[in-house]
Amino acid sequence: MPGYPAIGLFLLAALVLLLIPGPAVLNIVACSATHGRRAGLVCVLGTHAATLIHVTAAAAGLSALLVSSALALSTLKYVGAAYLIYLGAQALLTKDGDEQAPMPAPKRSGELFAQGFWVNLLNPKTALFFFAFLPQFLDPARGSPAIQIFIFGALFVTLGSCTDGAYALLAGSVGHWIRGDGRFRRVRRVVTGGIYIGLGLTAAFASPEKK
């Protein structure tokens, strides 16, 4: 069991990192602003289901494999980038229709969950983050490193669910006022598509060492 000072320091560092928007947060904001707060919260659940897999991989040493294997890292990096670009192209190619037409029906919960899951799971920087970040708080004298990683990972998921949930609620509240404006729909579609494509291109061309 990690010591309380280590847990406190970890939570402080994790909070700072979680408040900085990354691909997962931007995806949650886009889902919530477009489809409502409930959709955003479902996307949060998918996001942190993927986080649990990254935590498990870190505990099992798979993150070390990703770091040491250029092929595995490159494959994961480009698959994740391609998925982000796909989401952006899908948004840009959606027809506007009549400006006064009602908003499209929200995606099903399973689709929203899957979108949050894959955006986070296919981000290699998340795996690298856990590999580099979690070991800094481990103390071999306090038991199994794997168990300590699981504890820190569970704390990270809990804290991340709260911060990402706050992003989803805020974006959903703003979206509630603007979703009915037909003119906003086109702007939202272009901005959302541009964000996804930009994130995908950045992930594709950025070196793994950069954050």
pLDDT tens digits, one per residue of 9-25: 889 888 877 887 778 88
CA distances from 146 to 15, 113, 172, 210 (A): 22, 28, 37, 26
> What is the reported pLDDT for 44?
96
Vertex 119 angle, CA 126 and 114, to 5°: 130
Nearest to residue 58, comparing CAs of 147, 163, 142? 147
pLDDT in tens, 21-41: 778 888 898 889 888 899 999
Question: Residue 97 region, left (φ>0) first, then alpha (ψ -120 to 50), else beta?
Answer: left
> What is the reported pLDDT for 157?
94
CA distance 161 to 143: 27
Q: What count of residues does the chain have?
A: 211
Neighbouring residues of 167: CB distance < 8 A, sequence distance ≥ 6? 21, 25, 28, 29, 32, 40
Higher per-residue confidence, 129 vs 148? 148
> What is the reported pLDDT for 107?
74
Tokens coding 37: 């707060």
Q: What percent of the chain has pLDDT over 70?
A: 78
> What is the reported pLDDT for 209?
43
| Residue 165 clears pLDDT 50, i.e. is over it | yes
pLDDT in tens, 97-132: 544 444 445 578 999 999 999 989 988 767 767 776
> What is the reported pLDDT for 101?
41
Q: What percent of the chain has pLDDT over 90?
A: 21
> What is the reported pLDDT for 211?
37
Nearest to residue 134, comparing CAs of 25, 46, 6, 4? 6
| Residue 163 clears pLDDT 90, i.e. is over it | yes
Residues of 131-161 as b/e, b for ≥16 C-beta within 10 angstroms?
bebbeebbeeeeeeeeebbbbbbebbbebbb
| Residue 210 clears pLDDT 50, i.e. is over it | no
Please say whether the dihedral angle defined by the alpha carbons of residues 182, 186, 192 and 195, taken in this order, is positive or negative: negative
For the ranges 63-77, 144-158, 182-196, the maximum mean pLDDT occurs at 144-158
- How confident is the prediction for the chain on average, in pLDDT? 78
Span 190-194, average pLDDT = 78
pLDDT in tens, 77-98: 787 778 778 878 887 887 655 4
